[in-house]
Homo-oligomer: A and B are copies of this chain.
Amino acid sequence: MTLEKIRELLENKDYKTLKAQLSEENPADVALLLDDLTKEEAVVAYRLLPKDQATDVFAHLEGDNREALITAFSDKELEDVIKDLFIDDTVDLIEEMPASVVKRILKHTDPESRLIINEILNYPKDSAGSIMTTEFVTLRANMTVEEAFDRIRRTGVDKETIYTCYVTSDKKELLGTVSVKELLLSDYSTKIGDIMEDNPISVKTTDDREETAKQLTHYDFIAMPVTDGDNRLVGIVTFDDAMDVIEDETEEDFAIMAAITPSEDDYLHTSVLTHAKNRIVWLLFLMLSATITGLIISHYEEAFSAIPILVSFIPMLMDTGGNCGSQSSTMIIRGLALDEIKFKDFFRVMFKEFGISIAVGILLVIVNSIRIAFMYRGSSEFSSLSLALAVGITLQLTITLSKILGCILPMAAKKLNLDPAIMAAPLITTIVDTCSVLIFFKVSILILHI
């Protein structure tokens, strides 16, 4: 179903057809469509949805229309939605809404859920606790498989996933896990304790949410159990939420690596001024840093007054240094993010980058020397060989320096508990620029006897 089609049916007030067609669609698709409608249209369309589809659609909504819908909801409608939402989705909703709406949501939440919501809201923003849901199936080790199925049937309907069940002690400590597949393939009389996975893997509520998501991917889990300080099972993080976390963190890295303050909103839903605000801080800082390179150039005015052609090599040296540095830093930043590179690999990485810098450097220097020899032969002010030598030496030094900085800086940042992504192309380019210009003039003066 397309946006145009919905709009047409809304305009013609053909609600019967619209209702029939919407109910055929997957909730995730209906939500996408509703996100793109105006607030007024979204409210009308939402009210046409069958009740069992409506909450699913609501849970998938992302834009500003969620607030519009809640504002339009009667108390009864709001209560129905909140009752059917999983706890983690309710928490997400509350985190997005303005205070007045939050108050109204909490008013229509039962006291028990309210307590849980408040607890989750209290976990640090980037923790596993803040993204977990508290709805999961618990079993006891002395239950039989038959009893386990009874329990799943009785309590499973409200759980976000039932496919991994958690075996807990009287004190709610996590003892093991058992999958529904294992249950289905076992005899009814088998004891849960005999088929459960011992040594269950879990994370703490205070663990980093990105780390939690990575662990879940590493183990191919459907859900990762979350325990509190006393090893009591308090929640689970499901695979779909983990995928969202990984996506968020990746987008954050892309933004930081491009010198942008990360934001959670998507591009088109962000205003020009917010975009500008997210970009200006780094631009300003980098612009002022780049003036240092300018000052160095001024300092060598005599050199390039004598041989003006020198100036024309500056862009090539700056760009090549920047590109080399950004290649290395990108590889290292990603390697660190994916745990493929650890701090203990520091020297191994440095030697590798040094080797790479020599390999690419030699080729670039040769190509560049041929170009210079060809373009500047027979010049009266300088020998083209000396010029090729000066530029070549600078080029190789710049490449090696930028590749080494490109690996050292992100790893150092990681060690200092900073985000390695800040040590990406923009910053490294600025640093390498300064160095390459300085090296260039020093080397040129020496070799060309200026």
Chain A residues near B (Cβ < 8 Å): 24, 26, 28, 149, 152-153, 156-157, 162-163, 180-181, 184-185, 198-199, 201, 217-220, 222, 239-240, 243, 246-247, 250-251, 254-255, 257-260, 266-268, 272-273, 275-276, 279-280, 282-284, 286-288, 290-291, 293-295, 297-298, 301, 304-305, 308-309, 311-316, 318-320, 322-324, 326-327, 329-332, 334-335, 338, 340-341, 345, 348-349, 352, 355-356, 359-360, 363-364, 367-368, 371, 425-426, 429-430, 433, 437
Contacts A268-B345, A280-B363 hold; do A185 and B153 have CB atoms under 8 A apart?
Answer: yes
Most central of A298, A312, A324, A335 by chain B CB within 10 Å: A312
A340 cross-chain contacts in B, Cβ below 8 A: 266-268
Given the known inter-chain contacts A220-B240, A318-B315, A340-B266, please indicate yes or no for A367 contacting B327, CB distance below 8 A: no
**Contacts A156-B184, A267-B349 supplied; 12 other A-B pairs, CB < 8 Å:** A162-B184, A163-B181, A275-B356, A276-B355, A284-B367, A287-B316, A287-B319, A290-B320, A297-B314, A298-B308, A318-B318, A319-B433
- 19 A–B contacts, CB within 8 A, in A order: A24-B198, A162-B184, A222-B239, A247-B338, A254-B334, A258-B326, A258-B425, A266-B340, A267-B340, A273-B359, A275-B331, A279-B327, A286-B320, A288-B371, A294-B312, A297-B314, A315-B318, A319-B430, A322-B429
Tell me, in angstroms, the Cα distance from A316 to B255 when the chains sit together. Answer: 22
When chains A and B are docked, how far (Å) is the Cα of A268 from the Cα of B412? 18
List the 4 closest A-B pairs by CB distance, nearest first.
A258-B330, A276-B359, A294-B312, A272-B355
In the bound complex, what is the Cα–Cα distance between A293 and B320 (angstroms)? Answer: 13
Q: A309 to chain B: which residues have CB within 8 Å?
A: 298
Minimum CB distance partner of A24 in chain B: B199
B290-A352 in contact (CB<8A) = no
Residue of B nearest to A308 (CB): B301
A363 to B195: give the CA distance in the assembly, Å: 66
Determine the chain B residues whose CB is within 8 A of the CB of A153 once the complex forms.
184-185
* A377 CB to nearest B CB, Å: 16
Count of identical protomers in the assembly: 2
Q: For the complex formed, measure the closest distance between the CB of A302 and the CB atoms of chain B, giving whole angstroms.
A: 9
Q: Which residue of B lies closest to A215 (CB)?
A: B28
Which residues from chain B contact A255 at a C-beta distance below 8 Å?
330-331
Q: Are B332 and A267 in contact (CB under 8 A)?
A: yes
Are B293 and A315 touching (Cβ within 8 A)?
A: yes
A403 closest partner in B (C-beta): B279
Interchain nearest-CB distance for A401 vs B (Å): 15
Q: Please tell me if the beta carbons of B157 and A185 are within 8 angstroms of each other in the complex.
A: yes
Residues of B contacting A330 in the complex (Cβ-Cβ under 8 angstroms) = 254-255, 257-258, 260
Q: Which residue of B lies closest to A269 (CB)?
A: B340
Q: When the two chains form their complex, are residues B267 and A335 in contact, meaning their CB atoms are under 8 A apart? A: yes
A281 to chain B, nearest CB (A): 10
Q: Which B residues are in CB contact (< 8 Å) with A284? A: 363-364, 367
Compute how far the CA of A298 lies from the CA of B307 in the bound complex, rounded to whole angstroms: 11
Query: With a CB–CB cut-off of 8 A, which chain B residues contact A267?
Result: 331-332, 334-335, 340-341, 349, 352
Which B residue's beta carbon lies closest to that of A289? B319
CB A145 to nearest CB in B, in angstroms, measures 11
Which B residue's beta carbon lies closest to that of A180?
A: B180
| Complex contacts, A359 vs chain B, CB 8 Å | 272-273, 276, 280
Q: Which residues does chain B contribute within 8 Å of A288, judged by CB atoms?
A: 367, 371
